[in-house]
Each structure stands twice: as C-alpha cells, then as structure tokens.
Amino acid sequence: MVVEEYKNKIELLVGTGMLKINNLKRTDSGQYIVESYDPNGRRKDIYFSLQVKENIFLILNSVRFAVVVLLTAVLFCCMCSKFNLCGDSGGNQANDENLFKMYQTAQRE
C-alpha cells in the first residue's frame, strides 16, 4: 500500500529490488516503513529514516553565475584601464581618440 501523496513519486525497480522516490522535497524527510514479503508470503518490515537536504546543483549554479558576473566586471575594469576609457571627465576628446585607436587596432587584427 502506498500513501496517496506518494503514488506518483515512487518507483519500484523489480529486477534490483530498489525503491526509488522521485521529486523529493525537504518536507519529505522523516521515518518510513517498507513492507516486503518473501516467496512464502511472510511479511518483513524495513524501517528507515530519510533526510532530504538542499539541492547542491541549484547552489552551484548561483555561485557560477556570481563568478561570471564578477569576472565580467573585472574584465571591463581592465579594458577601461588599458584604453583609458573610464576617465573622470567622461566623453572628452582623449577618450574619443582612445576609442578610435582601439577600433583601428581591432580592425587590423
């Protein structure tokens, strides 16, 4: 007998005897009982405790995104420094000349 809320989440792999629970949530943590029967019909209860933890892949994806944003900012700052694009006066003739030089360099490569 499977509790109603788990009917679509549980899969029994008959060949291996493995019981697989899909789409776990932290609220699924707790004590469980699996009833099994031997070929003679004798029942054997298997008790186990399940603790569901955070999905590490979601955490890693967030960290990876933060690293990409940080590296992009560092690269932007390096480019500004190298080509003197982030000066105090903003939009002055020196910056325009540096942009033109950067454009010419890129065209040659």
- Is residue 48 within 8 Å of residue 21, measured between CB atoms? no
Claim: this prediction has a pTM higher than 0.75: no
Q: What percent of the chain has pLDDT over 90?
A: 1
pLDDT digits (tens, 9 = 90+) for 18-65: 778 888 888 888 998 888 888 888 998 888 888 888 777 777 777 787
Q: For the beta carbon of residue 28, count every other beta carbon within 10 angstroms.
A: 15
Structural domains in the chain plus CATH codes: 4-50 (2.60.40.10), 56-108 (no CATH)
